[in-house]
Amino acid sequence: VSQSHMVKVIGQLAKLGYVQTIRGKNGGIRLAVSPETINIGEVIEQLENYLDGVDCTTTSCQLLPCCELKKALIEGMRAFIDTLRKYTLADLMVNKNQLIPLLAIVRCKQLSQAGLQPAVVAAAATEKYLQVTQMVAFDGIGNRHC
C-alpha cells in the first residue's frame, strides 16, 4: 500500500467519522468511535465505489444480454460483504499486542523512555518488506496519548 493511497483512505475514513486526524508536528490519527461499533462490512461498502465485481454497464460486451458471470460475481461479492458484516474492528484486534510491532506502531511510553518526541506514524507495506515511512505513536487501538 503506497503512502499516498493510505493518506486517501485515512481521509475517507475521517469523512465517514471513523477516525479523527490531528495536524501538526505531534499530530496523527485516532479512532473517533469505539472499535466495537465499527462494522468491517459496512466500512468496506462505504469505501468501495463499485462492489459488483465487474462493471459491465460501461462496456459494449456482446454477451451482456445472456451473461451469467455478472450474476455470479454479484452473488459472490454479496457473500463476501455479508461475511465481513459479522465482524467489528474489535473482533480483528483480539491479538493487538502481537499486531503492534508488526505494524511498526511505537507506544508513547516507549518514545518518552527513549527520549524521543512523539511523531506521526505511517507504515507502508509492499510485497517484499514493511517500509516504515514515518514514526507513529498510538496505544494500540488508535488513540494517541501524547
Dihedral over Cα of 87, 95, 111, 123: its sign:
negative
pLDDT digits (tens, 9 = 90+) for 81-100: 999 999 999 999 888 888 77
Average pLDDT of the chain is 72
Residue 44 has pLDDT above 80, yes or no: yes
Q: Where are the domains of the chain?
A: 1-33, 38-103
> Considering the chain, what percentage of its residues have pLDDT values greater than 70?
62
Exposure string over 11-48, b if 16+ CB within 10 A, otherwise e? eebeeeebbbeeeeeeebbebeeebeebbbbebeeeee
Q: Which three-class secondary structure state does DSSP give residue 69?
A: helix
Residue 16 has pLDDT above 80, yes or no: yes
Residue 109 has pLDDT above 60, yes or no: no
pLDDT confidence tier of residue 50, bands split at 50, 70 and 90: low
pLDDT confidence tier of residue 3, bands split at 50, 70 and 90: confident
Dihedral over Cα of 37, 101, 25, 113: its sign:
positive
pLDDT on residue 124 = 32
